Structure 1
Amino acid sequence: MARITASVYTSHVPAIGAAMDLGKDQEPYWQKVFAGYEPSREWIKANKPDVVFLVYNDHANAFSLDIIPTFAIGTAAEFPIADEGWGPRPVPRVEGHPELASHIAQSVIQQDFDLTIVNRMDVDHGLTVPLSLMCGQPQAWPFKVIPFAVNVVQYPVPSGKRCFMLGQAIRKAIESFDDNLNVQIWGTGGMSHQLQGPRAGLINKEWDNQFLDRLIDDPKGLAEVPHIEYVREAGSEGIELVMWLIARGAMADVAGGGKPKVKHRFYHVPASNTAVGHLILENQA
């Protein structure tokens, strides 16, 4: 059967992608950010999955404010790179895994979660920046990707608890797939940041690191944190962190397995006007 071997958590700051695309990643300002991902690039080479189930949020590229699905799974064979106003990023197209994606959709919907099935979808920096951070700038991405878009843009947005429970349903779905696949699940977005209003530029280092602590040691308790705390403590865009709970809910310890092993943890301020957080957790055999 397919199995989830690890989860990866990372911010998806658009300026990070621009820094890579423009060759600025070794400039003093950006070098500190990218240095935190050097161990991760070595780790992914040694632990290359067959498929990455990548949880992210669309930034009004695949979905406009006319139609906003709460949870949307990409089931296509290929996903073009979105033009976010200055042309698509110069990165490879994303190759999907329609068979596994369709199986997950069937299983998760039968577990009473309503998913929107998307057979055609452009993917933006929310998905491509995590791939670039972990893989650099290859000619082709070294694994297939199932995009999973979550609405954290237009309220009402899903609760942390709902996301955590969804992660558990996704784990069951993946483990019931017949093919012997090595699957990783990535949660992206965050950490603390606010892009508008009187609190624009807000960063809360203490809260961010407490979130990382609890994500490792107390995910069930963390899933109970209400929306208002994310907004108050981590800024209006800090709500993106509920997407990390989908990935965390899919880990084995949540279903009675062993506690995952922390392979890498990184936190840096600032990158553009946000905090950057990153974590790799491995399931234990």
Structure 2
Amino acid sequence: MARITAGITTSHVPAIGAAVDHGKTEQDYWKPLFQGYEWTREWIGRERPDVVILIYNDHASAFSLDMIPTFALGCAERFSPADEGFGARPVPIAEGHPDLAWHLAQSLILDEFDITIMNKMDVDHGFTVPMTLMFGEAEAWPVKVVPLAVNVVQYPPPTGNRCWMLGEAIRKAVHSYGEDLKVQVWGTGGMSHQLQGPRAGLINTPFDLSFLDRLTSDPQALRRIPHLEYLREAGSEGIEMVMWLIMRGALGDDVREIHRHYHVPASNTAVGHLVLEALS
């Protein structure tokens, strides 16, 4: 059967992709950020998954305020990089895994999650930046990907508890899939940041570090963080961290942290990155 072997969290700051695309990764400003991902690139080269379930949020590329699904699952054969207003990033088209994706859709909907099925979907920096951080400037991505877009743009977003429960349902679905696959689940977005208003540029390092700690030491407490606390402590865009809880819920009870990276700033954002090994 398929099995979930690991989970990864990472921020998906668009400026990170621009730094790679314009050859700035060795500049003094950017180098410390990218050094924190070198360990993961070596590790994922050894522990290469067959499929990644990549949880991210769309930034008005595939969706607009006219239509925003809470959870949208990519079931297509491939996913092209989106044009976010300055041309599509020069990264590969991602190859999907429609069989696993449709199995996930069936299992999640029968478990009473209202999943929007996407048979065509372009993916923006929320998807492409994590892929670049893990695999570099590849001619082709070395894994198949099932994207799961989560609404954290238009209020109300899903609660942390709902996201955790979705992760548990994903775990159940993956483990019931008949093909022998190594699957990783990535939760992207965050950490603390705010892009507008009087608190634009907000970064709350103590909150960020506590969140990273609790993903392994007290993950159940993270399920109960209300939207208002994310807003107060992590800024208006800090709500993206609920997507990390989908990843964490999918890993099961027994995990081990094997790598951590935290860096400030990347653009006006705190960057957080964890690699968690699923032990059961």
Question: Shorter-chain-normalised TM-score: which range?
Answer: over 0.9
2:272 is aligned with 1:272: no
| C-alpha displacement of 1:218 | 1.1
Q: Distance in 1 between matches of 2:75 and 2:275?
A: 26
In the other structure, the counterpart of 1:98 is: 98
The answer as to 2:279 corresponding to 1:284 is: yes
Structure 1 residue 283 displacement after superposition: 1.1
Q: Secondary structure at the match of 1:250?
A: helix
The 3-state SS of whatever aligns with 1:34 is helix
Between the aligned partners of 2:223 and 2:62, the Cα distance in structure 1 is 28
| Cα deviation, residue 252, structure 1 | 2.4
Residue 4 of structure 2 is matched in structure 1 by 4
Residue 249 of structure 2 corresponds to: 249
Matching residue of 1:256: none
Task: In structure 2, give the amino acid aligned to 1:264.
Answer: H
In the alignment, the residues of structure 2 paired with residue 216 and residue 132 of structure 1 have an alpha-carbon distance, to the nearest angstrom, of: 26
Q: SS of the counterpart of 2:247?
A: helix
Cα distance in 1 for partners of 2:218, 2:95 equals 34
What CA deviation, in whole Å up to 9, does each residue of 1:101-141 have, x standing for no partner? 00000001100110000000000000000000011011100
The aligned residue for residue 115 of structure 2 is 115
Find the residue that maps to 2:147 and give its secondary structure.
strand
Alpha-carbon distance between aligned partners in 2 of 1:204 and 1:133, rounded to the nearest angstrom = 23
Q: Could you tell me which amino acid in structure 1 is paired with residue 8 of structure 2?
A: V
SS at match of 2:126: helix
3-state SS in 1 of match to 2:275: strand
Where in structure 1 do 4 or more consecutive aligned residues deviate above 6 Å? none
Q: Could you tell me how far apart the structure 1 residues matched to 2:144 and 2:153 are?
A: 26
User: Considering only aligned residues, what root-mean-square deviation do their CA atoms show, in Å?
Assistant: 0.6
Aligned match of 2:257: 262
* Alpha-carbon shift at residue 221 of structure 1 (Å): 1.2
Deviations 1:120-172 (A, max 9, x none): 00000000000000110111001000000000000011000000000000000
SS in 1 for 2:30: helix
SS at 1:149 equivalent: strand
Counterpart residue number, 1:190: 190
Matches within 5 A, 1:111-190: 111-190=111-190
Using the TM superposition, name which of 209-218 and 11-20 deviates more: 209-218
Deviations 1:253-274 (A, max 9, x none): 1xxxxx2121100101000000
- Return the letter of the residue paired with 1:266: H
Letter in 2 for 1:165: M
Are the aligned partners of 2:168 and 2:252 in contact in 1 as well (CA < 8 Å)?
A: no
Q: Number of residues paired by the alignment?
A: 280
Q: Specify the code of the residue in structure 1 equivalent to 2:86.
A: W
* Separation in 2, partners of 1:284, 1:155: 35
**Which residues of structure 1 form unaligned runs of 5+?**
254-258
What residue in structure 1 maps to residue 81 of structure 2?
Answer: 81
> Separation in 1 of the partners of 2:101 and 2:223?
25
Select between 215-224 and 27-36 the one with higher mean Cα deviation.
215-224
Rounded Cα–Cα distance in structure 1 between residues aligned with 2:168 and 2:105: 14
Q: 1:67: which partner in 2?
A: 67
1:20 aligns with 2:20: yes
Cα shift at 1:216: 1.3
Residue 42 of structure 2 aligns to a residue in which SS? Answer: helix
Residues 226-265 of structure 1, C-alpha deviations (whole Å, 9 max, x = no match): 0100000000000000000000000121xxxxx2121100
CA distance in 2, matches of 1:109, 1:263: 33
Counterpart of 1:28 in 2: which secondary structure? coil
Percent identity of paired positions between Structure 1 and Structure 2: 66
Distance in 1 between residues matched to 2:250 and 2:220, nearest whole Å: 12
Q: Partners in 1 of 2:65 and 2:152 — Cα distance?
A: 12
* SS of match in other structure, 1:212: helix
1:206 partner letter: P
